[in-house]
Amino acid sequence: MSKAYGRFGALHRLSMAVPEGSVFALMGASGAGKTTAIKILLNLITATGGTATVCGVESRTIGPRALAQIGYVSENQVLPVRLRVHDFFEYLRPCYARWDRDLEAELRDQLRLPPERRIGELSHGMRLKMALACALPFRPKLLVLDEPLSGLDALARDEIIDGFLRQAGRTTILISSHELDEVERFATHVAFLHEGRLLFQGSVAALAEHARPLLLAAERRGDRPSLRAIFVALVRAARQSAAPPAGQSP
């Protein structure tokens, strides 16, 4: 799929597949097109070209039935700020036929969400935890996390990661992040985006194999190169291939 805002191309013929049951990390620097791709998948914005299929449904026609199987957490998610935490849970419960109240209670307890506080009074981290606690009790088939770790302290990150990793295996998790070191801990599959273009997608093991020739000698040391090193190598290679041959002006 492609997406352009006027003359600016945010996504260039992105083509990828997220395997069922995987923890799929969509990675790239800020502005690489990760959020745009996710919003197209959830029909929050419309692609300029191409199509996407989510849980067997074409994303442009995604409706309540498909959305009932998708959990979504985003750093930009606009929640009803004047509603109290427990009121919001109360509001959401009837939306989902498979809502598990025990799991809800467990998550609220684990993430220490204050029931009487208004959502607008919660800190950024607490709001993300709240969004996560609302995205899990109905046991979604697909959990989409858009920069869920952005701007969080280490403790909050661990709580969030622990929270959604409880679903790993039963739920397909698509997580977008530019926090390469954190994602490395749990991702089974990765895709690298750079300036709207897909540099690589595949399993973490395949990634290491794919990137090995691109890595500098210093970066190859150790059993397994880091995602950070691979990403830098991929971007470097992409820039080189895009640059004009020596002697020609760009």
74 sits near another protein (criterion: CB under 8 A): yes
Task: Find the distance separating the first CA and the last CA of the chain, reported in whole Å.
Answer: 28
The only residue of 6, 56, 63, 244 in contact with another protein, by rule CB under 8 A: 63
61 sits near another protein (criterion: CB under 8 A): no
Cβ distance to another protein smaller for residue 4 or 92: 92
The only residue of 1, 23, 42, 113 in contact with another protein, by rule CB under 8 A: 42
What DSSP string describes 81-142? Answer: TTSBHHHHHHHHGGG-TT--HHHHHHHHHHTT--TTSBGGGS-HHHHHHHHHHHHSTT--SE
SS3 234: helix
**Type of residue found at 175:** I
The only residue of 4, 16, 92, 204 in contact with another protein, by rule CB under 8 A: 92
SS3 172: strand
Contacts of 96 (CB under 8 A, 6+ apart): 68, 137, 138
The C-alpha atoms of residue 138 and residue 207 are separated, in whole angstroms, by 33
72 sits near another protein (criterion: CB under 8 A): yes
122 sits near another protein (criterion: CB under 8 A): no
The only residue of 70, 107, 133, 160 in contact with another protein, by rule CB under 8 A: 70
Which listed range, 81-89, 157-165, 171-179, 232-240, lies at the site for another protein (CB under 8 A)? Answer: 81-89
Which listed range, 11-19, 68-76, 103-111, 220-228, lies at the site for another protein (CB under 8 A)? Answer: 68-76
95 sits near another protein (criterion: CB under 8 A): yes
The C-alpha atoms of residue 22 and residue 171 are separated, in whole angstroms, by 8
Which listed range, 84-92, 178-186, 187-195, 206-214, lies at the site for another protein (CB under 8 A)? Answer: 84-92
78 sits near another protein (criterion: CB under 8 A): yes
Q: Supply the DSSP symbol for 18.
A: -
The only residue of 16, 29, 83, 237 in contact with another protein, by rule CB under 8 A: 83
State the greatest distance between any 2 C-alpha atoms of the chain, in Å, as a whole number: 67
Interface with another protein: number of residues (CB under 8 A): 26
**Type of residue found at 144:** V
Chain contacts with another protein (rule: CB under 8 A): 39, 42, 44-45, 63-65, 67-68, 70, 72, 74, 76-80, 82-83, 87, 91-92, 94-96, 131
